[in-house]
Amino acid sequence: MQENAQPPIPESATLLAADPELIRLAKRTPAMSLRPRALRLSRFVADRMQRRVQGELASGVRKSDHIAGASVEVRVYRPSITEATSDDSLPVLVWMHGGGFVMGDHREDTTCSQFVSELGIAVVSVGYRLAPEHPFPAALNDLWTAITWLRSEGAAMGLDTERMAVGGSSAGGGLAAALAQRAHDDGIEIRGQILVYSMLDDRTAVRTDFGRRDHKGWTNGSNYTGWSSYLGTEPGSPTALPYAVPARREDLAGLAPAWIGVGTLDVFLDEDRAYADRLRAAGVWCDLVIVDEAIHGFDILAADAESSRAFLASQVSFLRDVLGA
């Protein structure tokens, strides 16, 4: 939100009603736990699924691939045709893909191009290194390299890095939250953070009231594998390194305005809601959207459902406000 013009901090969540298509999705989605020994197969399956659900580029959007720093792959999405003058530049959303820290890649054409199409901004999707081959802080360092590259080269590319937001889904949302924290501490302005059913707290992975397969799609068994791979140690330890686990940060004051969204059937519901409550308590503007009867990844798996469209529209509205798009 613009300085001195922030609306009152919301005190409750926006609730999106149960959608029949999401209810059907929850019933037919299996509860399968990711195991380290099956990671190669899981990556293969995830790659095939990503090609199927993320292979469409929205109309009027073009993409280009770049290398940030020495080795970080990024894909830049922007409007194909613009009426902007040569003096205008595009606000930027830096996007982090999901995959539990261990799977996925940055070529999320459908998701990223939707933001471009709706808002007329640029989206920069970052290909960070994956665990367990590259545990923390490798992924965060890659994101920092991308941010540094953007601040250096963005103007020449027609990008306005003074109007920059960060976002991501699942593990990508957790990385976006960590990046927003580090940017704040280093004095770099981030206008907003989009945290989509985000992986924020390693302590969820060792909750005894959750069975390993109590949730559809991404289970707490998978959650344990993701966190242990990323941290290189047992999740839920008494302390965590700075920026490794966003929810472990004690002081959230001064962070960028946030949009947090999650479904009621998602393993991350409690930690996402708790992070939203803590942001608000610290004086940070935070919009919390909860979707009834929605599993992890519902908006990708059932993109045409009414609740999924409303979920995306809420993110777009938030970005329009914080970026002035």
Four-CA torsion 21, 24, 26, 31, nearest 10 degrees: -140
Closest C-alpha to 165, from 76, 95, 89: 95
Question: CB of 43 within 8 A of CB of 103?
Answer: yes
Q: Catalytic residue, from 169, 296, 308, 321: name it.
A: 296
For the record, the structure tokens of 20 come out as 């029949």
Burial per residue of 109-118, b for 16 or more beta-carbon CB atoms within 10 angstroms, e otherwise? bebbbbbbbb
Q: Say whether 296 is catalytic.
A: yes
Distance CA 86, CA 83 (A): 9
C-alpha dist (Å) from residue 315 to 119, 127, 269: 11, 22, 17
Q: Say whether 266 is catalytic.
A: yes
Distance CA 226, CA 205 (A): 9
Cis omega (within 30 of 0) for bond into 137: yes
Q: Catalytic residue, from 19, 266, 272, 321: name it.
A: 266
Q: Catalytic residue, from 170, 198, 229, 308: name it.
A: 170
Question: CB of 235 within 8 A of CB of 241?
Answer: no
Task: Classify 285 in phi/psi space as left (phi over 0), alpha (psi -120 to 50) or beta.
Answer: beta
Closest C-alpha to 272, from 287, 255, 282: 287
Closest C-alpha to 268, from 194, 322, 204, 323: 204
| φ/ψ of residue 31, rounded to 5 | -105, 100
Distance CA 36, CA 315 (A): 33
Q: Say whether 287 is catalytic.
A: no
Catalytic residues: 170, 266, 296
